[in-house]
Amino acid sequence: MKKIYLFCSNGMSTSLLAQNMQDVANAHNLPFEVKAFPIGTLGEIIESKNPDCILLGPQVKYLLQDTVDRYGQNGKPITVIDSSDYGLMDGEKVLKTAIREMKKAKK
């Protein structure tokens, strides 16, 4: 099971998106666990749960480079969720983005 974890200011709105993504994954029998967390728990969650893909909410995109520098070693994909997909809570598009990033990281 691949873990896709979303991080935003406090995890509230991202929780809705994560649930939409999980619903899409479940509907297509895809082996993903999608969860959302507040950005303040980023280091702790990465260390303890070792996600396969890290998605940052648009409101914390300023943390992208620092997050990549700290946790992007060993090819773990880290990216910012597209703001329009986030605003529309488009779980399918964001899930596809995560899958694409994980595939790119394998190459």
Closest CA to 11 of 47, 43, 35: 35
Residue 53 is among the residues annotated as catalytic for this protein:
no
Q: Are the C-beta atoms of 22 and 14 separated by less than 8 Å?
A: no
Q: Are the C-beta atoms of 31 and 1 separated by less than 8 Å?
A: yes
Closest CA to 46 of 77, 90, 88, 85: 77
Pick the catalytic residue from 6, 8, 18, 45. Answer: 8
Catalogue the active-site residues: 8
